[in-house]
């Protein structure tokens, strides 16, 4: 809800401009009901609506609404970005969120701005329409497809647990999660829209030419294993496979499935990963568990235009064809709404 000062400022500015609620709504491209609700103190507009109202009244959103919701936070951690750091920017509801650009072997991410210098001009460009996180490599492809179609999007690599925490806190539109059959993670923050993306095997990768039955040494704790962070569903699958063994298994930690598969090729050590990532880099693969992969979205976000475009891209022939070419995916039910 908006406070009384915000309601008063909007009403006074509208009257000073000689506009009725209906005229202001038409100029700003919003509904008259929204203008009425804000002036009655029943609603706080999203950032995009606040900017549109401010432009229609020849002022700024900061002056009109006190800048509420304009301070960005990192989409994953919820902490303000480090001043001076390059960031990518997205808009989730009324919240401006950031992520760190990925500069690596695949090239350079676009930088939307510098933390601490994100001025009104950036806000007026609206930020991203879709912000999503998870460990499914296909999220990067969805981001590129959306941007090619004119929808600004940000995808962030993270574990299941991290993505769901950020989704619960309202800093994401969508989280990609995977889990063994019958072991869907809990999510109690809000009703969910769940969309099936595919199925793949979680397991171990190794260089082609590794010695016969190389995975037995990995599961028996006789060699170091490249692993994921706690809370990653693939890591939990690996730990279930070695449950009978006492003690920890040594090995470095990596932040994603593709990174794990590449590290396996470079180091010669087995790595916890998924079959599509192993296939993408040409690694040998030993399966441990079959996992369902879903895209989870708060039901309240289903009407967002960016979310509708995200679901269209996920169900498109181009997305399916690319994943089929990578290999390791069962896409028989892609796009099906689970709940």
Kindly report the number of other CB atoms within 10 A of residue 162's CB atom: 20
The residue ranking higher by pLDDT, 190 or 9, is 9
Residue 170's φ and ψ, nearest 5 degrees, are: 80, 20
User: How far is Cα 237 from Cα 218, in angstroms, rounded to an integer?
Assistant: 14
Q: pLDDT tens digits for 156-183?
A: 999 999 999 999 988 999 999 999 987 8
Task: Write down the pLDDT at residue 238.
Answer: 95
Average pLDDT for residues 19-40, to the nearest whole number? Answer: 89
Average pLDDT for residues 59-80, to the nearest whole number? Answer: 76
Q: pLDDT tens digits for 242-267?
A: 976 656 788 999 989 999 999 999 99
User: How far is Cα 61 from Cα 252, in angstroms, rounded to an integer?
Assistant: 47
Look-up of token digits 């470095």: 252
Cβ atoms of 295 and 174 closer than 8 Å: yes
Task: Write down the pLDDT at residue 2.
Answer: 47
pLDDT at 300 over 70: yes
Q: How many residues does the chain have?
A: 339
User: How far is Cα 263 from Cα 227, in angstroms, rounded to an integer?
Assistant: 10
Cβ atoms of 70 and 91 closer than 8 Å: no
What strand order describes the sheet that includes 95-99? 73-74, 95-99, 86-92, 113-114
Q: pLDDT tens digits for 92-136?
A: 877 788 999 987 766 788 888 888 877 655 555 555 579 999 999
**How far separated are the first and last CA of the chain, in Å rounded?**
30
Task: Write down the pLDDT at residue 66.
Answer: 61
pLDDT at 203 over 60: yes
Pairing of strands 130-134, 113-114: unpaired
Q: Domains, the chain, ranges and CATH?
A: 4-65 (1.10.260.40), 175-339 (3.40.190.290)
User: How far is Cα 95 from Cα 282, in angstroms, rounded to an integer?
Assistant: 41
pLDDT > 90 in the chain, percent: 58
pTM score: 0.79
User: How far is Cα 255 from Cα 100, in angstroms, rounded to an integer?
Assistant: 14
């Amino acid at each position: 809800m908006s406070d009384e000062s915000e309601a008063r400022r909007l009403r006074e500015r509208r009257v000073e401009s000689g506009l009725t609620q209906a005229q202001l709504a038409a100029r700003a491209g919003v509904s008259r009901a929204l203008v009425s609700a804000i002036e009655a103190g029943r609603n706080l507009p999203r950032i995009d609506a606040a900017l549109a109202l401010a432009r229609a009244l020849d002022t700024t959103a900061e002056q009109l609404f006190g800048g509420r919701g304009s301070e960005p936070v990192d989409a994953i951690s919820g902490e303000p970005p480090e001043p001076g750091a390059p960031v990518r920017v997205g808009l989730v509801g009324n919240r401006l969120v950031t992520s760190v650009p990925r500069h690596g072997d695949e090239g350079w991410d676009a930088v939307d701005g510098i933390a601490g210098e994100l001025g009104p001009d950036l806000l007026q460009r609206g930020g991203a329409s879709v912000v999503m996180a998870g460990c499914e490599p296909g999220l990067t492809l969805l981001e590129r497809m959306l941007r090619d179609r004119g929808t600004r999007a940000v995808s962030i690599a993270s574990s299941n647990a991290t993505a769901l925490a950020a989704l619960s806190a309202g800093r994401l539109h969508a989280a990609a999660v995977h889990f063994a059959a019958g072991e869907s993670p809990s999510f109690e923050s809000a009703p969910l829209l769940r969309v099936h993306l595919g199925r793949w095997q979680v397991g171990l990768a190794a260089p082609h030419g590794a010695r016969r039955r190389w995975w037995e040494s990995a599961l028996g704790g006789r060699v170091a294993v490249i692993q994921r962070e706690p809370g990653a569903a693939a890591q939990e699958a690996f730990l279930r496979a070695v449950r009978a063994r006492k003690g920890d298994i040594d090995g470095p930690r990596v932040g994603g499935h593709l990174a794990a598969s590449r590290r396996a090729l470079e180091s010669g050590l087995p790595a916890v990963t998924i079959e599509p990532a192993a296939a993408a880099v040409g690694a040998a693969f030993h399966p441990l568990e079959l996992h369902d992969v879903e895209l989870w979205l708060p039901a309240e976000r289903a009407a967002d235009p960016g979310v509708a475009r995200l679901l269209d891209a996920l169900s498109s022939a181009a997305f399916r064809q690319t994943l089929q070419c990578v290999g390791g995916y069962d896409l028989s039910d892609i796009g099906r709404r689970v709940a």
